[in-house]
Amino acid sequence: MNNLILKVCTKVLFTPIILFGLYVQFHGDFGPGGGFQAGVIVAAAFILYAMVFGVDKCKIIMPTKLNFFLLVLGAFLYGFVGIVGLILGEPYLSYDLLGSTKQSGQHIGILLVEFGVGLTVCNVMICLFYSFANFKFGSNKND
Amino acid sequence: MDLIIKNLPILIVITPLMFSLIVAVLPNQRHSWFLTNLASLLTLFFSILLGIEVSEKNLISYHLGNWPPPLGIEYIVDKVSIIPIFIIAVISCLASSFAHNFFTSEVYNNLISKTYSLWLLTIAGLMGLVTTADAFNLFVFLEISSLSAVALVAMGSKVDKKALVAGYNYLILGAIGATFYVIGVGLLYGVSGTLNMSDLSQKIPELGLNKSVIVAFTFMILGIMVKAAIFPLHIWLPNAYAYAPSPVSILLAATATKVAIYILARISFTIFGTSYDIYSFESLRYILLFLSICAMFAGTVMAIFEKDTKKLLAHSSVAQIGYIILGISLVTKAGIASSFIHLINHALIKAGLFMSVVAMSFYTFKRIDATSISGIGRQMPITFFAFIICALSLAGLPLTVGFISKLYLIKAAYMSEGIWLPFLILLSSALSLVYIWKLIEGLWYDVDKNNKLKIKELPEIYIPLLIITFLNIYFGIDAGLIINSSYNAAEALLNGIK
Amino acid sequence: MIDSIINYSSIASLILGILFILIGSIGILRLPDVFSRIHASGMIDTAGTAFIILGMCLQSGISLITAKLIFIGIFIFFTSPITGHVTANLARKKGLKPITNNKGKTL
Amino acid sequence: MSNEFYIYLCILTPLLAFFLTPFLNKTPNFRDILGPIGGLISFYCSIKIASLFLDGEELGFVFFQISESLSISFNINGLGVIFGLVASGLWILASIYTIGYMRGNKEKNQTRFFTFYSIAIFAAICIAYSGNLLTLFIFYEVLTFSTYPLVAHKQNNEARKAGRLYMGILVGTSIIFLLPAIVIVWVLTGNLDFTEGGLLKGYISMEYAPFLLALFAFGIGKAALMPFHKWLPAAMVAPTPVSALLHAVAVVKAGVFSMLVVITYVFGIDFLTETNASVWLIWVSSITLLLSSCIAISKDDLKARLAYSTISQLSYIVLGGAIATNIAVQGAAMHIVMHAVGKITLFFAAGAIYVATHLSKISDLNGLGKSMPLTFLAFFIGSLSIIGVPPMGGSWSKFYLMLGSVEKQYLFIIAVLCISTLLNVYYLLEVPAKAFFLEKKSNVQVTKHPLTTYPTFFAALLTIILFVYIEPLKEITNLIVGIGK
Amino acid sequence: MINFKSIILFFLLLGFWLLMSGHYSILITSLGIISCALCVYLTIKANILDNEMLPLYFFPRLLQYTLWLIKEILISNIETAKVILFKTEDPELFTVKSSQASNEGKVTYANSITLTPGTVTTQINENVFEVHALTKSFGDDVRSSQMDKMVSWLEKGK
Amino acid sequence: MINEIFGVWNYWIVFTLMMIGLYIVISKKSLLKKVVGLAIFQTSVFLLYITFGKIAGGTAPIITNNSEEIYSNPLPHVLILTAIVVGVATTALGLALIVRINKAYGSINEDEISAVDLVDYHEKFSEKKNK
Amino acid sequence: MMFLAILFSISVCFLLILIRLIAGKTTYDRILAANSIGTIVVLAISIHGFYMGRPEFIDISIVYALINFIGTVAVLKLFDKGKLGDK
Ligand code: NA
Ligand code: NA
């Protein structure tokens, strides 16, 4: 959409949206946020950018490979935090030993896990957008 | 080591899971393949350790994150679940060992690493499915495994674009099945307030006769029936198996439906076993019995008229699933044991058959048409030999595992239903000879129409193929292990019914 | 005293906001074509949102909530003309002609 | 030495021959001598086993256990002793004859041929000494698979087609009927062991017994009961020694042996008599008997005629079992031996004629008697034995069968037997009659191979010997039906 | 490419974070700093850090303009409400010229037109705007180019 | 009274959504619409879970300082969140497949796809005949 | 109680716009209506938070506003180009 207003305003909105996403990400345990929503918000910024400036330009900021790597990294982080507990002699997904106290351990654990989730969700969304962006609804009969 | 043993039930799930993530981002496909094998081997190793543990302890319960059930998620490995665990671990190991050449030729180059990743993800999903004791967690694993399986099926689109449609149909039906299941779980949760299976089994009888429970049971069973490809909900299966990349066909044919059947047994006996009398599920089991008989014949007839070899085998799987379900629907110790025997044996048989067919189709780079590509067996004698053994096993010849299955199934059927049921079983297995004969004749007798093609044996498939063939014979001769573990499983399952 | 003033003004503000939203909704329903309706929609986005948010800000006093409410307000103020403009722009681009009395002047 | 040793030795000798033969590809003389030597060893063991059996010793062992109630086991019973003797004894003769035939005919792939010949004998002996239905079935299938390469030996289209029919019918019937029958027996009784007096007694109700028997009767395709008889004439494309092996020694005898084992040790004669479960089988076998005799008359090809004769003779044995009286079963058991010796004589003769003249049509054999007197004399003697004329061995078995039917007062069986005997006379004696009494047609080159002539004649002599030396056989058959214990 | 603009952006973002956060522990605050840095990095990488994105020179007169705009919006809201409720609309479509030099100025003008109910910018062609007005009087307001002058005044803040 | 009606209404809505979703999946020929139907079907389940989790007078299970607050049961919400993720994954995979199907077949209509398959089959068959 | 009344009035507005959404006429009408509904919902969520005494719900309304905006842009783009990808 070659629209001046849209382009200029997207430029303005891009950065605050990402920041807001990160804000939601790291304030997850205080409000109704968390990695899931944060990921969606950050991804929304990228998707908006891609819609207005084109997928190719978006791929300069978020290359496909990096996107996939981050997607996997997020999931890996999620799993790995659990494994840390396992290696420290606790069952899987117990974060108690991550911090100095049980409370802080849980907190750090949840923060890390949420970050993994956010990373994954964000990149999944972007990945999905990349793959569907060029899907052209042709003159298909739809029923 | 102590750390490993303590965490075995979760290790068999997270090992493939974590490896699948690593494999996904590796640039080198050989490395991906290597890591996939490593993960499979590790999983197998853990499964063996688990098997030893279970034989000592009967039941291993693992609490995720130290939250005790019913609040936290519990993982349970007992004498029942160890059977599908072994099937998954062994088949994954064997099938991934020779997968590389197949994936290189059957999957788009940029997707190969992802295919391996999905492969491991499927394994992880299936393992989780088997081990979890939480009804909702089960749903999650159900979807993990079937979504990754769908993606794997669709990977076959380089060879034939039908793989995409097959994957799509698998996805839609699978999703409906899973949603049905989760509706059932929701209803149960609504009335009982718990998701833990053993907790559910204790709380459901306390509710007395409750409509929600009946509806929940129906929904759950219906959902799993889709996944288990029980007639007439099997329509996704033949195409999905046929158009998937070859190693995937093997993996799915040997594991996916088996695990779903295991879940079916778990739901019917572990969750609802205690309330069996209250709801008099007898009438329901006759429906299952009827469907399994339909499956036996429908699958066989479809296989007889099918030309594509992989699809033919898939249709035959539908029929074999019928046998397995038949055993479960008898609700006797002998019946369930026989169905577990066939569960194991059919995994061995179908894995062998698919492997040999796949090996034969490798150089032709297309599906083997039972009539058009003929005489291929002459060019690949070792593969053909393995094929013959597995086919005879499918036919139920003595000294193969197929015979043992049939024997115990018929015995169980006779003991609870009298002569008519064994008669039907025998009739359908006699019919199955038609397509087995058709295959053998096509592959061996027909004059070579494709002698222009340079077809050689595939050396890398020898070892897994011969191992499977050997297992087909070995467990046909020394059937004690399978029979005993199946009887143990049946006993453990029926403990639920009071 | 101050509290009740704030409270009443908050209520007034909210009611005003609702009024504008209601009128905007009626406009969306009543006006003849998409271009005219954009004006009504603009009412909801500007006056309606502004008064409602003002009312809520007065309710919560100086706090994090107020900051967030203002943030929402700014966001809606910022995006409303974009969507309005892009919708109208697209409609024009696709050849939709507004109902006007000065037909000769239409571009 | 323990008694089991003889069973092991008897079984393992042909197996050893099977393993050794491929390695002796380069030295045909060593390779070919393996057969007769192996035959001698096996035959010696069979005799030893027979004498031990007659002494009342219990012989048998479990080879291995598959599951609690399933095992591969060997156990000696009267029928097994008889079949073991036939199989191992005729192996000697057949192997000697085969050497002559193969060399005289300059066949290709001789090593492969001998390899599978040995494995077929191995399977036959295992069938003879098998202790339960499962073991019997397994070696029954091994026999089918091992004889397939023999049938399709020539590897031309005709041979392949015949091989396909052969495999199709034998494997098909065994899996579709026999295997379910075995499964049903196991399901009913939880056991598959051959038991004196019958395994099924008390486990199966009267109305189902005939059906189970039918599964067995049609499942044992090697007994060539109509309508599953087509494989036998089709398999005639094979070299003559194979035909001899198929028709006289191993395959068809394995079939009727299995039939008799099922009747005596699974159903039990008394049980069949009580329930009349086998009456329908009398009819089926009688019809097979007469029809195949009629077809035999219409065949001009010597081997095809012999094939239909075999079908008819097999039905005698099945008939004996179906009558299900002690004497009839004894007769049937004897007929296994008598027919084996008689028919192998005829086939040897036919092969000898083929090697010498390359003729296979009966109408072409006119006047050949003078150039091949010994061969045609042997053919004549063999024919008489099969017809049942004293002093040939075949007269005993027919006599017992007659006695059996009289005892049961099935008069129409006697009529059937009489008619069929007349037909036998016609279609068998036509050959020597034409050879001796008709004019020689044209110049037929006769190049005899000594190793084909003498075994033939020896086999003919054996039919006479069996007439005289019948006592041991009688004793064994008595033990089968439980007389004299 | 850390320039003056990016530093300003960083502190603006940080201010935004601190305003919204409400939790001022070391962990969360340092995460905030990292987040702001990440945002700036992404902005630079996306190649959008320019005057269009952050028209710093608007800032001096921004407050005054905003207040004026709010006043305008209020008035036009009431007018539009009247039209919707009591009067019949008399829409017109016309073009006006804009006098802004920069893109950000034009966009501000166009958005201001749209933001005031009763008028919508439908198309922008260089410095010719096509505007849709609900009634003639709304159209006259735009044509009087008071708003155009205000935006140009805002733009000349540099 | 209101509560009861409300509860029953919830079930009705769940049921209606479920039926609409299933109907779309079954009856529509467009693969895309099927995925949409599936999504609706799955959404009905989320609603069902919410209904179970709702405690009368309870508020969202976000921890506040007020310890006397009655929270709705948080577990169903966690479950729904998981289920939503699964649902999104399913939809995404479905859409990805549709994109590829559209590329391969030039259509996302079920009938047209099977028509293409049929044509392919016949071409293959006639090729064989010609050889 | 006041917030409930406001919520109720907002629902009325919601329904009014919903009529336009369904009646539509042109696609742009529907998009416009959907966008306005989005705005209303954003406000409603905030007010609902106040009504429940849990103003933390505002975070959700921010996200909703964001999604509403991007969704509208996406739909508009889709109707413009037929796909979301290129410029
Ligand atoms: Na506006
Ligand atoms: Na406006």
Does the pLDDT at position A42 exceed 90?
Answer: yes
Does the pLDDT at position D227 exceed 60?
Answer: yes
What is the number of domains present in chain G? 1
pLDDT > 70 fraction of chain B, expressed in percent and rounded: 91
Q: Subunits touching C (CB < 8 Å, at least 3 pairs)? A: A, E, G
Number of CB atoms found within 10 A of residue D481's CB: 21
Q: And the tokens for G32?
A: 């416009």
pLDDT of residue F54: 61
Does the pLDDT at position B423 exceed 80?
Answer: yes
Task: Express each pLDDT in B156-188 by its tens digit.
Answer: 888 888 899 999 999 999 999 999 999 898 888
pLDDT of residue F70: 53
Residue G86 is assigned to a structural domain of this protein: no
- Mean pLDDT in residue range G49-65: 83
Does the pLDDT at position A99 exceed 60?
Answer: yes
Gap between the Cα atoms of B23 and B34, Å rounded: 9
pLDDT of residue B121: 93
pLDDT of residue A142: 45
The dihedral over CA atoms of A7, A10, A14, A20, expressed in degrees to the nearest 10, equals: 180
**What is the three-class DSSP state of F13?**
helix
Ligand 2 centroid to residue G61 C-alpha, Å: 24
Ligand 1 centroid to residue E93 C-alpha, Å: 15
> Which residues of B sit within 8 Å Cβ distance of F?
136, 139-140, 143, 147, 150-151, 154, 157, 161-162, 164-165, 167-168, 171-172, 175-176, 178-179, 182-183, 186-187, 189-190, 195, 372
Q: Which of F28, F96, F109 sits opposite A140 (nearest CB)?
A: F109
Candidate from B186-200, D171-185, D424-438, D470-484 with smallest mean pLDDT: D470-484
Going by C-alpha positions, the residue among B146, B164, G86, B152 that lies closest to residue F108 is B164
Vertex D164 angle, CA D163 and D169, to 5°: 105
**Which domains are assigned to chain F?**
2-130 (1.10.287.3510)
Range of the domain at A79: 4-134
**What is the three-class DSSP state of A38?**
helix
CB contact under 8 A, G40 and C76: no
pLDDT of residue A143: 44
Does the pLDDT at position C92 exceed 60?
Answer: yes
- Mean pLDDT in residue range D8-34: 76
Residue A76 is assigned to a structural domain of this protein: yes
pLDDT of residue A111: 83
Does the pLDDT at position D442 exceed 80?
Answer: no
CB contact under 8 A, A31 and G85: no
Cβ under 8 Å to B: A residues 46-85: 68-69, 72-73, 75-76, 79-80, 82-83, 85
Q: Which pLDDT band, with edges at 50, 70 and 90, does A90 fall under?
A: low
Model ipTM? 0.83
CB contact under 8 A, C83 and G62: no
Ligand 2 centroid to residue C80 C-alpha, Å: 9
A105 part of contact set with chain B, CB < 8 Å:
no
Task: Express each pLDDT in B302-356 by its tens digit.
Answer: 998 888 888 888 999 999 999 999 988 888 888 889 999 999 999 999 999 988 8
Range of the domain at G68: 2-81
A61 part of contact set with chain E, CB < 8 Å:
yes
Candidate from B77-91, D288-302, E49-63 with smallest mean pLDDT: D288-302
Check: CB of residue E91 under 8 Å from CB of residue E80: no
**What is the three-class DSSP state of F5?**
helix
Query: CA nearest G21 in C: which residue?
Result: C29
Candidate from A9-13, B131-135, C99-103, E39-43 with smallest mean pLDDT: C99-103
Farthest CA pair distance, chain D: 68
Residues in chain B: 498
Candidate from B162-166, D166-170, D476-480, F93-97 with smallest mean pLDDT: D476-480
Task: Express each pLDDT in D323-363 by its tens digit.
Answer: 877 777 788 888 888 888 788 788 777 777 777 777 777 77
> Mean pLDDT in chain B?
85
CB contact under 8 A, B150 and F22: no
Does the pLDDT at position D30 exceed 90?
Answer: no
pLDDT of residue B40: 93
Physical contact, B and D (3 or more Cβ pairs within 8 A): yes
Task: Express each pLDDT in D115-144 by its tens digit.
Answer: 777 888 888 888 888 888 888 888 888 888
Question: G54: domain CATH number?
Answer: 1.10.287
- Mean pLDDT in residue range A10-28: 89
Does the pLDDT at position D154 exceed 60?
Answer: yes
Q: Which of the pair, B84 or B445, is modelled with greater confidence?
A: B84
Does the pLDDT at position F25 exceed 70?
Answer: yes
Task: Express each pLDDT in D379-393 by its tens digit.
Answer: 888 787 877 777 777
Ligand 2 centroid to residue C45 C-alpha, Å: 10
Task: Express each pLDDT in B189-244 by its tens digit.
Answer: 888 888 888 888 888 888 777 778 888 888 898 999 888 888 888 888 888 888 88
pLDDT of residue C52: 93
Check: CB of residue B455 under 8 Å from CB of residue B363: yes
pLDDT of residue E3: 85
pLDDT of residue B285: 78
Query: CA nearest F99 in G: which residue?
Result: G83
Ligand 1 centroid to residue E119 C-alpha, Å: 7
Does the pLDDT at position F85 exceed 80?
Answer: yes
Does the pLDDT at position D288 exceed 70?
Answer: yes
> Which residues of F sit within 8 Å Cβ distance of B?
18, 22, 25, 31, 34-35, 38, 41-42, 45, 48-49, 51-52, 75-76, 79, 82-83, 86, 89-90, 93-94, 97-98, 100-101, 104-105, 113, 117, 128
A8 part of contact set with chain E, CB < 8 Å:
yes
pLDDT of residue A141: 43
Does the pLDDT at position D302 exceed 80?
Answer: no
Q: Which of A75, A86, A89 sits opposite B21 (nearest CB)?
A: A75
Candidate from D11-20, D280-289, F66-75, F95-104 with smallest mean pLDDT: F66-75
Is residue C78 exposed (0-12), middle (13-18) or buried (19+ Cβ within 10 Å)?
A: middle
Q: Which pLDDT band, with edges at 50, 70 and 90, does F20 fall under?
A: very high
CB contact under 8 A, C86 and A1: yes
pLDDT of residue D322: 80
Task: Express each pLDDT in E93-123 by its tens digit.
Answer: 999 999 988 999 999 999 999 999 999 999 9
Gap between the Cα atoms of B387 and B377, Å rounded: 9
pLDDT of residue C104: 41
Q: Which pLDDT band, with edges at 50, 70 and 90, does F57 fall under?
A: very low
Strand ranges for chain C from DSSP E: none
pLDDT of residue D90: 77
**Cβ pairs C/E, distance under 8 A:** 115
Is residue D97 exposed (0-12), middle (13-18) or buried (19+ Cβ within 10 Å)?
A: buried
Q: Which of the pair, A113 or C38, is modelled with greater confidence?
A: C38
pLDDT of residue C105: 44
Residues on chain D touching B337 (C-beta within 8 angstroms) = none
Residue G8 is assigned to a structural domain of this protein: yes
Ligand 2 centroid to residue D380 C-alpha, Å: 122
Q: Which of C20, C33, C71 sits opposite E77 (nearest CB)?
A: C20
Task: Express each pLDDT in C35-65 by its tens digit.
Answer: 999 999 999 999 999 999 999 999 888 888 8
Cβ under 8 Å to C: E residues 110-149: 110-112, 114-123, 130, 132, 134
Ligand 1 centroid to residue E116 C-alpha, Å: 6
F13 part of contact set with chain A, CB < 8 Å:
no
Instruction: Domain ranges for chain C, please list them.
Output: 2-93
pLDDT of residue B88: 92
Residue A135 distance to chain F (closest CA, Å): 6
Q: Which of G35, G46, G80 sits opposite C41 (nearest CB)?
A: G35
pLDDT of residue E57: 87
**Most confidently predicted of A93-107, B243-257, F112-126:** B243-257
Instruction: Domain ranges for chain E, please list them.
Output: 4-45, 57-156
Q: Subunits touching F (CB < 8 Å, at least 3 pairs)? A: A, B, G
pLDDT of residue F4: 60
Does the pLDDT at position F63 exceed 60?
Answer: no
Number of CB atoms found within 10 A of residue B391's CB: 25
Task: Express each pLDDT in B255-314 by its tens digit.
Answer: 988 899 999 888 888 888 766 666 666 677 788 889 999 999 999 999 988 888 888 889
- Mean pLDDT in residue range F92-121: 86
Ligand 2 centroid to residue G42 C-alpha, Å: 20
Does the pLDDT at position F128 exceed 80?
Answer: no
pLDDT of residue C107: 43
CB contact under 8 A, F48 and B150: no
Ligand found nearest the CA of E134: 2
- Mean pLDDT in residue range F36-61: 75
Cβ under 8 Å to C: A residues 5-24: 5-6, 9, 12-13
> Mean pLDDT in chain D?
78
Does the pLDDT at position B5 exceed 90?
Answer: no
Tell me phi and psi for residue D59, to 5 degrees.
-120, 135
